[in-house]
A and B are shown apart, each in its own frame.
Chain A
Amino acid sequence: MTDKELEILRIIEEDARIDLNTLAKMTSINEEEIKAILKKLEEKKVILNYSTVVDWSKVPQAEQVTAMIDVKVTPKRGVGFDEVAERIYRFSEVQALYLMSGAYDLQVVIEGKTMQEIARFVSEKLSSIDSVISTTTHFQLKKYKHDGIVFEEGEEDRRIVVTP
């Protein structure tokens, strides 16, 4: 990866809506070249999506529950954890899935409308997969920071307006 590509990635990771003209000035790379770089990074699946961080707790009709589930599984010869991982991430409720080192193997992040909905997912779908040995479910109580973004009010600019 070139330095230019890296710099563009770092900027749009913070602000995916930045316009080309501004991006060009910030990086001293012309707009055509930026377009080409973005296209290439999209094609190579380095850039997967341009999404928005939403604080759903501020949207009354969209209340939801998030749980992190620690899952112990038996890996299979030849495919290791990948096969069971795929079985799990195909469920649309699953927001994220990670293979972990330590006391358990897979961490599943799941979102649902209610605790019951998540409980049903764990007992009916997750636990019933053959290689799953055990599950431990943790419900998120409050989101303080997500994807590097602090959810509370930001720190204001406390500088005085004109200084030497």
Chain B
Amino acid sequence: MSQLNVKTKSRLSSRVQDIQPSGIRRFFDLASSMDNIISLGVGEPDFITPWNIREASISSMERGFTAYSANAGVLELRQEITKYMYDRFDVDYDAETEVLVTVGASEAIDIGCRAILDPGDEVIIVEPGFVSYSPLVSMAGGVPVSVGTRIEDDFKVSAEQIRAAITANTKALMISFPNNPTGAVMLREDLQEIATLAEEHDLIVFSDEIYAELSYDNQHVSFAVLEGMKERTILISGFSKAFAMTGWRLGFVMAPPDLLAAMLKLHQYSLMCAPTMAQYGALEALKSGMDDVERMKQSYKQRRGFFVESFAEMGLACHMPGGAFYAFPSIKATGLTSEEFAEKLLYEEHVAVVPGDIFGAGGEGHIRCSYATSMDNLQEATKRMKRFVSKHL
């Protein structure tokens, strides 16, 4: 007789069961079931990786560079990364002890959390933010604590907001500017008050700067350049956004030697090393890809100008996103929730956007619209959205 009718403990860990499936997934299924949609829901560049980068990777394979690399990544690549980050953002890291090449920036967030969190440690996450932060903190045994930003503040976070969420268990802070999904940026003086707070409460700061190159109005300021911050910052970046290399899964993390050594230990056991052929592509990206980065950035900037102005014409409030390639307009005027708006827009006008609530606190009442798509698509999508909004205002 089978014993299976006896109620047994699930074979899945409670830690995994406690994590909610990503809301992105549900929306992806909805959008995928329909034909002829214009998608403003894509969180990646619409450019294909520049040819010289693809060619360098192909060439590395032809020359037989197919073995494991050093755990931390090809040394020459780490050297180029440190040089690039110094030239572009004025941060000074040692290629041998303070840089790790990861499988996307996501891995960096994951191993960063696992490297520093004990059960019950709290991580303050500034939201709306990337959907992975909170689950990755939970999976590392930590407790995510949300702090929501608001359109009235241009989606910047203040030291006061963060201070209100600090408890005796607060171990770290997670910020990401330019921000996905809001496009918000923080200027030096905005970051400075956060730095003072981090010092005061001895916080480790995860600064996900994957969109740093896509800052349109001001030079990006890395959190790690602020005085005294390098020693408490886990600086995360990668090649996906600026170099249009999302599918390559190549990121990097920069941190003081003790934190980096701990992350390297985790990386070495779970990943061994990032794919070698992707690393050679990235090397070429850093050596000769900056003109392409600039060209793509100009193109995003022009599309931003077109797109953001369109929301005013629709009657939707939208702040000017200073970076990334997202607009995050408020849809509160329509009386619909984010989910309702996105779903109706998809069904009625065949335009896919992402409901803002998926990105955490402060996201409800907004939708994320990516302008990383062709001008033709943007023009058609805004025309349809205008028609849609006028029916619901």
Contacts and interface: CB of A to CB of B under 8 A. Distances in A.
A28 interface: yes
A161 B310 CA distance: 22
A10 interface: yes
Please indicate which of the listed interface residues A15, A155, A157, A163 has the most CB atoms of chain B within 10 Å of its own CB. A163
A161 B32 contact: yes
A25 B310 contact: yes
A22 B130 contact: no
Interface stretch (B187-195, B218-226, B298-306, B384-392): B298-306
Given A161-B41, A161-B42, A26 B31 contact: no
B27 A162 contact: yes
A28 B305 contact: yes
Given A159-B42, A163-B42, A25 B309 contact: yes
A164 B130 contact: yes
A27 B27 contact: no
Which bucket holds chain A's interface residue count? 10 to 19
B343 to A, nearest CB: 12
A162 B352 contact: yes
B359 to A, nearest CB: 9
B302 A160 contact: no
Nearest to A158: B48
A27 B28 CA distance: 33
Given A10-B298, A22-B379, A155-B48, A160 B306 contact: no
A123 B306 CA distance: 54
B24 interface: yes
Contact of A164 (B22, B46, B48, B373): B22
A164 B246 CA distance: 12
A111 B205 CA distance: 65
B44 interface: yes
A25 B43 contact: no
A25 B37 CA distance: 24
A47 interface: no
Contacts of A162: 24, 27-28, 31-32, 39, 41-42, 352, 354
Contacts of A7: 298, 302
Please indicate which of the listed interface residues A10, A18, A22, A26 has the most CB atoms of chain B within 10 Å of its own CB. A26
B116 interface: no
Interface of A: 7, 10-11, 15, 18, 22, 25-28, 155, 157, 159-164
Interface of B: 22, 24, 27-28, 31-32, 37, 39, 41-44, 46, 48, 130-132, 180, 298, 302-303, 305-306, 309-310, 352, 354, 373, 375, 379
